[in-house]
Structure 1
Amino acid sequence: MTFLLSQLAHSQETAQNLFSQYRNALYQIQMIDKESGNKSSIGSGFRISDQGDIISNYHVISDYVYFPDKYRIQFLDANGNTGELTLKNFDVINDLSLLKIDPANTSGLYFDLAEKLPQQGSLVFSLGNPHDLGMIVVPGTFNGLKKNSFYQRIHFTGSINPGMSGGPAVNSLGQIVGVNVATAGNQIGFLIPLPKILALYQNHTELAVSQYKQQLQKQLHNNQQDMVEQLLSSPWQYGVLGKARVPEKISDFISCWGGSNASEKNVRFLSVSNRCRIGEQLYLNNKLQIGEVEIEFEWLTSEELNAFQFHNFLSKKIAFTRPGNVAGENDVSNYRCNQDLVTNAHGVVQKSILCARAYKDFDDLYDVLYISASNNFETSSLISHFTLSAVSRESMNAFTKQFMDAVSWQ
């Protein structure tokens, strides 16, 4: 008990020292609507050089990237001073932005970047401005990198609340080890790790406003291509679903679950399914997130429906399939679909529908929706479905081919 009290006292003392030392390097980042002059959203940021370089999240300033004529970026410092910030560059994949403040508007110490990540179990301090209540310091535990994730995140045990996004996470020396990015509640937080900050800060070139969309497209294209290549090169694990043999796990960063209606009463068909999702998305703006991957196989069979009734049932089920990500008419075109009856490499006959819609701001990026129903049995069928978000035409075609040929009969 004495040891725990001593640890708590040390933690509180360290937090107080950190705040008093670095308060002038902490900022509230505000998105200001030019028409009203009022802030529309807030986050946090921190200074990492005597030249005025500030790190925050991409999602904190995303409205400015999309609508630079409508918004401006403003800081509020610990002394109540405000002023404009410029956006130098960003990393949408890792949710980072690099901003600049006029060095004449700065004073005191700036945060140093650590040389390496701390050991698992180390004490880490998260700083930020939760709910517009003023800057605070939250102690927590560094739990290493999040497992089974395509996007590297630090698992942090501590309270990260709205408004703290973009704030620094530091070791006991005040050195940056990560950036606040998200919370799952119940003292489960996530940080962007140090190497991603270093990559943006050390390798950036300053962007003009006219280059923002080009930078987004380049980063999205490279990331989605890398993701699909990893999905296609991973050894797919197979299992039995009804009379079919289907992939039941295609990557460590895609989580899968099974289910059935076998315990339900008064159903006229048996449904057994395997559903997989990535569970992570990329934030582009407050109305658009991309990066969804959905894969689903469902075995349907009935002893009560005749062949005609079963066919109608299948047709209605396919008609109500929807894409995994939501995008508006300002962002994407309408879906265009091709329907065909195909036989895959294992002799499985499938009535397939492949749909794609294009992103209006980004060349060669598409949302893809695929669904098929096997046609080998009168009152049984395998429904295969996937959705991909913001992938190239080349990635779409490669994934579709491998997915279609992955199904076989036992």
Structure 2
Amino acid sequence: MSLLDRVRTTLPTSLASSDEPRDWRQLSIAAGYGAVGAVTLGLLLIVPVMAAWAADARSTTSWTDALSFAGDGWALAHRGHVSVAADAATHSVTFAPLVLTALAVVFARMAAKAMLTHLSGRAGAWWEGPAAYIAGYVVSGLVITGLSLSGPAHPNLFTVFPGALVVGFAGCVWALLRSDEPVAEQAKTFVGQRISLSTRRALRPATEGLLGYLGVGLVVVLLLLVTHASQVGDLSGQLDTGLLGGVVLWLGQLAALPNLLVWSAGWTTGASMQLGAVSVGGTSVHGGLLPMIPVLGAVPGAGALPAITVAAPLLPVLLGVFVGYRSLGNLTTYASLRTKAITAAQAAGMTVAMVLLLSWLSTAGVSGGSLDYVGPSLMIVPLLVVELLLGALLATLFLHWKRALRR
């Protein structure tokens, strides 16, 4: 056998399977850390819920029912559906304030980072500890939401599961990427052996592309708020919520700010944005009734939009150009056009995947009412793919041609 054959048939020590028995105690600890990551958000939600209940002298809700709202909030943050009875009918509410979802990911990452320190030197495959952690997070999340079933609102556990799995997985992957523990190093080596170099190079530009996408949404939202400030103020004044109610209302709107950014950025692709009965298209708005939420006063009135909005789809194309430019930053001048195009296309594709995941998490709705669906239409999928890929490939061709002229 040649030396090359030996290298190909021998696994690194860190990745080779172990014949030693599994350490179930350490796996149980890993699952326990997953539970801690899930419970942390629940405890955080208990504080404002109970504070609001105690401060409202007119509240007729028992403290146990008020406490169950924290579980409902946990379910909503993970894009679960919560059934609420109103006017002799039951409505299913879907609304994940992305600030809370981001906090859930942060708490999941903190717990996963602590979990990794207890897995050094354990027997078995490297993925068993992280898998136990994710399982602990999901199961604990389902228990938290299950306990709230005794309250006036009833979360649907089946709809909580996908979001809890995504958040637990995201927190664990984040911790693995930023850790130097043996398990994390084994995970990085395992992934590095199975993912091409161009894919790894495309990860950072794709993340920057996602931030750029949210930046585009922020610009649109700020423009709407500035140009419709009087309508927002009028709605806020008509509600007469009082001091505590006003604080809760504006905190809720701030928690949903990332949702607005995702929806607004999705509108720039040319896909319409649905606000229940109201449809905001690329050139016009089809009106309808909206609830009296101050920030919705920034939605343009029914009718034609300014002519400049026709050029909005250029923004995602320019974002694709930026992603393509950043993806070529780690490549040498003499890299082939094929290599550059593959790296840029993969970066654009990863950006699309992350944007679509955020779009799914951000969608909202109340069944049986005027807000049955809130979010971008499904047309965002083909439009975003075409626009980002077009921009990334145009940037690749231009930069390759420009650098070729310098030789």
Q: Normalization by structure 2: what TM-score?
A: 0.24
Q: Normalization by structure 1: what TM-score?
A: 0.24
